[in-house]
Amino acid sequence: MSLKDKLPGQLGFGTAPLGNMFRAIPEEEAQATVHAAWEAGVRYFDTAPFYGSGLSEIRLGEALAKYKRDDYVLSTKVGRVILDEVEDAAARDLGEKSGVFEHGRPNKIVNDYSADATLRSIEDSLKRLKTDRLDIVWVHDIAQDFYGDQWLEYFNQARTGAFKVLTRLREEGVIKGWGLGVNKVEPCELTLDLTEAQPDGFLLAGRYTLLDHDRALQRLMDSARAQNVEIVVGGPYSSGILAGGAHFEYQKASPEIVARVEQIKRIAAAHGVDVKAAALQFSLANPAVAAVIPGASKPGRIAEDVAALSAVIPAGFWQAMREAKLVSERAPLPIDEVKA
């Protein structure tokens, strides 16, 4: 059974913003956003202990407690254990993502991908989420952006710890699937090459978007599809810059990125296209992609995402994007699906 068979549709909700990513979100706004997603028909919700030191899981659990557990699919992540001990959230060393959750809870975060920590992390997540089971578990952030030159050490800890635990839990029917939840292509490549680990998919954030997809096309998408390992695309708006925000890769966008987005906006305006619609439909056009999970922190954003998914985009837009070399010649586009 593929990842597509395990997910209820192509659109999910990435709940990192509920962990107070970039700003402190009022509790009522966070709850209203989850309920707006539900009312819009979204039935796949992804979270992680890392998002606000458990805040995203707590808020999501509170909101989803109103619905039947069998009616939705839930994924969270392992690799970070959240303690009762507190620390300065703004002073954490998060590699390239420094400050992203400085408005989250102050609970200390411990990086640990061992077998014991994986089981503890799952147990803690179940409590925060107020549920008795998880559907999919991703191994979180074993990559260069968080750990620099040490990332392979963390990867190997996960290979001998988390990978084995999650494989066993899947075989026992405790979870439906597992994989990596990362912002880089290389850990996914390494995992595909392992003989002892057989993931169901990857949650790849920010690496298969309108702004950044070359490396994923060159190194991952075809080989993942050949092994029936499908991709959930996280961060399809590239941390917000493609949805009118100012961030790219969780930091303030560089002038070069801003200029590229302006190019995309001009072509979109000329063809009457919403950039958000182009971003979502671009990601989903690749046959290796099972779903896309944009984040939101305001209820109104959910309706925009749902509308973007079904918006009609003229072929001329995609042709213009190719001609301007704003999308790779190798990237499957919606117009290619029509031709096929």
Catalytic residues: 46, 51, 77
CA distance 28 to 57: 15
- Provide the 10 A C-beta neighbour count for residue 314: 12
* DSSP string across 116-176: HHHHHHHHHHHHHHT-S--SEEEEE--SHHHHGGGHHHHHHHHHHTHHHHHHHHHHTTSSS
Q: Please enumerate in sequence order all residues whose Cβ is within 8 A of that of 102, keeping only pairs 6 or more positions apart, or say none.
A: 89, 90, 92
CA 206 from chain centre, in angstroms, equals 8
CA nearest to 117, candidates 31, 15, 49, 207: 49
What backbone torsions phi and psi does residue 18 show, to the nearest 5 degrees? Answer: -70, -15
- Provide the 10 A C-beta neighbour count for residue 308: 23
Do you know the residue count of the chain? 340
| Contact assessment for residue 15 and residue 45, using Cβ atoms and an 8 Å cutoff | yes
SS3 44: strand
